[in-house]
Structure 1
Amino acid sequence: MTTASAPAAPRAVEGSASATRRGTGPRVRRRGVAWLGLTPFALYVLLFLAIPAVLAVASGFFTNSGTPTLGNLAAFGDPVILNAFGASLGLSAVSAVIGAVVGAIVCYALQALRPDGLIRSAIDSAASVLAQFGGVMLAFAFIATIGAEGLVTVWLRTALGWNINANGTFLYTVSGLVIPYLYFQIPLMVLTFMPALEGLRTQWGEAAATLGASRGVYWRRIAMPILAPAFWGSLLLLFANAFSSFATAAALIAQGGIIPLTIRQQLTSETVVGVQNVAGVLALGMVIIMVVVMSAYSALQRRAARWQR
């Protein structure tokens, strides 16, 4: 019996090895076919993001006649340009911080609702829509509401005698852009931070309570450290979103003030000749800031994902 059964083992091993070899080919082919599904997206990124960005940045290193030059880099020493970068960074930081804090509070409040309930579904749908609601439509909505002759402005002036635009129209300034920016920053925070908050496991709270920890101790020593990478990552995403926004600001502010509007002014100026290629250098500055911010965002997202496995 022992002698007869001994030769069977090598054949079984050989058979399993050959089966493994036969199975490797189809898996590789399926993986290759799966990668083909990314081709349309890759072409979209190449044609509408990568190539235009490279051409825009490269234009800053040529004169109008096509001669290579580094002279346009002197624009970074212009006080007007520096003020525009400072205003953009300040506007983005303020709107991101306020949007992140308010959005996190909204997410915490939504935890008390049923995930499949009507109210929760309506709020999630509204956040998805409002996070993308920007541009001229958003600017017109605020002009009609709190503009110089907006509905709220007129009502406050006639009913309460309070003129919110007594010292000028606040909405049409860089500081006033914080108000319409929050309209899409808060919903974006709800969309990005809610999954991290839902990832907190009830077992962690129960274990902390079993060991005698209060609710405050649980949030301070367990929940908040776990949520910190997701919160800071969402805040950086809000910062990048505000820093790159253009249409809403362009509809409310006629001249420059933030760097996207300054780039438009450089491209369309009719009073200063030969400044078109400076816009490419300013675009390079924006790209560098965005790369730094999004790299930090990706690192925080990878760290936050550890707790969601």
Structure 2
Amino acid sequence: MVAPVAAPAPRADAAPGRGPGTRPWLAWLVVVPFLVYVGVFLVYPTGVVLAGAFQDADGAFTLENLAALGEGVHRQAFLRSVELSAWTALLGAVFGALLSWAVSVGRPDGLPRRVVVAGSGVLAQFGGVPLAFAFLATVGFQGFVTRLLKDVFGLDLFAGGAWLFEMPGLVLVYTFFQVPLMVIVFLPALDGLRPQWREAVDGLGGTAWTYWRHVGGPVLLPAFLGALLLLFANAFSAYATAAALVSQGSPIVPLQIRGALTGEVLLGQENVGKALGLGMVVVVAVAMSLYALLHRRFARWQ
């Protein structure tokens, strides 16, 4: 018969009540500033936009603001915004993926990788007035490259019109910060490809095409599509760069909102601007929801 083992007596110097759930208010003390920030700068503005989109100038309920989104310049602005976002997202995703692949095949601690990653972190946030000025100083009417090509080679970049201040120019400028963002988002997915998978394919007599067709491609596809949606939402919601570059007209939705809120064209259009903002919120929310679903699927391979 085995004698029962007595449980050790608690230490006299052990501090009582030090369990993980003893002081939950400490955790809330850390979270509260973040919640306040989100509430002031995200939840409250979204509520103002949502309420104003269904009100007229007198504060009465109306659907005319939402109906105006499908008419005339507002509909064209949404179509151009979607077109601009789609083109820049596609170009940024393709070139960013190629750059990410070129970096991933090198040494993990090599200088090229560190330079590209550090530069991407900076350039992905480089927008607004500084980016617009950089392009104006480079390929503007009197830009360095423009004058160099015209004086040395006789080439006029603006022979066909002021393309830099129209949709082609916005595509070029937006792609400048879309490519580094793609590198930041997609490079971890490439790093997640395990060398053992390639070795297994080679051991079974497969080719490089076999590996990318049946292993690498299916694993990277959700991450690529998710990054594509993220780039689309990033371009669709961008404002400062277009506002600094386009001084006349409002070809995209963010500039339409600026015109409605400041009364540049018509007075009393503030609630129409809020309806435009609500439309942008819906589009970005759908894109980010799809991105979250694709990211969850890719996370299984990490």
- State the TM-score bracket (shorter-chain normalisation): over 0.9
Query: Which aligned pairs between 1:278-289 and structure 2 lie closer than 5 A?
Result: 278-289=272-283
Aligned pair 1:73/2:66, yes or no? yes
1:147 maps to 140
Letter in 2 for 1:279: G
Displacement, 1:40?
2.1
What TM-score do the two structures reach when normalised by structure 1? 0.90
Does the 8 Å CA contact 1:174/1:258 hold for their aligned counterparts?
Answer: no
The answer to whether the 8 A contact 2:103-2:112 is kept is: no
Question: Partner residue of 1:247?
Answer: 240
2:156 maps to which residue? 163
Look up the match of 2:266. Answer: 272
Q: Could you tell me which amino acid in structure 2 is paired with residue 156 of structure 1?
A: L
Aligned to 1:93: 86
For the structure 1 residues 300 and 25, does the alpha-carbon distance in structure 2 shift closer, same or farther, using more than 3 Å as the test? Answer: farther
State yes or no: 1:225 paired with 2:207.
no
Structure 1 residues 29 and 204, CA gap change in structure 2 (3 angstroms): farther
Partner of 1:307 in structure 2?
A: 301
Measured against aligned partners, the alpha-carbon deviations of 1:127-147 in whole angstroms (never above 9, x if no partner) come to 000000000000000011111
Q: How does 1:104-183 map to 2 (within 5 A)?
A: 104-183=97-176
Task: Structure 2: give runs of 5+ residues left out of the alignment.
Answer: 9-15
2:281 is paired with a residue whose SS is: helix
2:12 alignment partner in structure 1: none
- The aligned counterpart of 2:55 is 62
C-alpha deviation, 1:269, in angstroms? 2.2
The SS at the match of 1:273 is: coil
C-alpha contact (below 8 Å) 1:147/1:169 kept by paired residues: no
Quote the sequence identity (%): 48
| TM-aligned CA distance change 1:70 to 1:24, over 3 Å | farther
Alignment partners' CA distance in 2, 1:58 and 1:211: 62
Amino acid at match of 1:260: P
State the distance in 2 between where 1:307 and 1:142 align: 40
Bigger helix share:
1
- Show structure 1 runs of 5+ residues with no match: 16-22
Give the aligned length. 296
Indicate conservation of the 8 Å contact 1:226/1:304, yes or no: yes
Distance 2:31 2:191 in 1: 30
Per the alignment, in what secondary structure is the counterpart of residue 307 of structure 1?
A: coil
* Alignment-mate amino acid for residue 288 of structure 1: V
Q: 1:30 to 1:218 in 2, by over 3 A?
A: farther
- State the superposition RMSD in angstroms: 2.1
Query: Is 2:255 aligned against 1:261?
Result: yes
Paired residue secondary structure (1:294) = helix
Q: Which amino acid aligns with 2:113?
A: R
Q: How does 1:44-63 map to 2 (within 5 A)?
A: 44-63=37-56
Q: How many Å apart are 1:276 and its aligned residue?
A: 1.6
Is the deviation greater in 47-56 or in 183-192? 47-56
Helix, strand or coil for the counterpart of 2:221? helix
Displaced runs of 4+ in structure 1, greater than 6 A? none
Deviation at 1:25, TM superposition (A): 7.7
CA distance in 1, matches of 2:118, 2:71: 45
* In structure 2, C-alpha distance between the alignment counterparts of 1:187 and 1:98, rounded to whole Å: 12
